Amino acid sequence: MNTIRFLQEHPVFSTREFAFLCQISMSAASRRLARLEAQEALTKVSRGVWCQPAHARFSPNQAVRLLLGNERGYVSFLSALHTEGALSQIPAAVQVATTGHGRMLETPIGRYEFHQIKPEMMRLGIKVSETNPPYLRASAEKALLDTLYLSTRKGRRYARLPELDASAFDWKKLIAQLDACGHSRAIASAIHARLARQQEIT
């Protein structure tokens, strides 16, 4: 595959992917991508991760799989709630659930917030986006559960979510997913209480 065709088909990619599909060495790929960046044809998101913000199919969410590296993770919390149509507010950052350490990453295409959750919380409610390239994203129900879980561990963060659209949720599915998460009794009770209050607010 030549460079032009690769760029037409890949709005977000890694140096390794570029080298493999263009059948060149990693060092040659790095030099070629650096030249394209100097010509403002590409944006370097982080080490080894590149994107084309002007590409018709580009979304900052597509970079998450590459920024996670070897960690398991997916777009969740307010970002997924907004994408799923459950929240009108546009989040200031792409929020990611991860098995790795919590952290924040500032990039030329925006801020990424990584929040650590337990691996057993990644069993249900995660789907593949319909974008090209695809990325993993929480369903509306899963994103709300992740957000409320975070609120039990981060003080008053997300204490209120008044802009939620209650019609975007399957509440029976949401409760079933909560019961399958394996939370401690204290955390599960706190989330159940928040859900009850949230239904009253919305």
Per DSSP, the three-state class of 29 is helix
pLDDT of the residue at 140: 93
pLDDT of the residue at 139: 94
The answer for residues whose C-beta is within 8 angstroms of residue 134's C-beta and 6 or more apart is 128
pLDDT of the residue at 194: 75
pTM (two decimals): 0.88
pLDDT of the residue at 184: 81
- Collect the ranges in the chain with pLDDT lower than 50: none
Q: How far apart are CA 21 and CA 73, in angstroms?
A: 25
pLDDT of the residue at 121: 86
Length reported for the chain: 202
Domain range annotation of the chain: 3-51, 60-201
**Are residues 10 and 50 in contact, defined by beta-carbon separation less than 8 angstroms?**
no
Residue 133: asked if its preceding bond is cis (omega within 30°), the reply is: yes
pLDDT of the residue at 58: 95
Torsion of CA 36, 41, 45, 48, to 10 degrees: -30
Q: Which amino acid is at 142?
A: K
Burial of 25: CB neighbours in 10 Å, binned 0-12, 13-18, 19+ = exposed
pLDDT of the residue at 189: 83
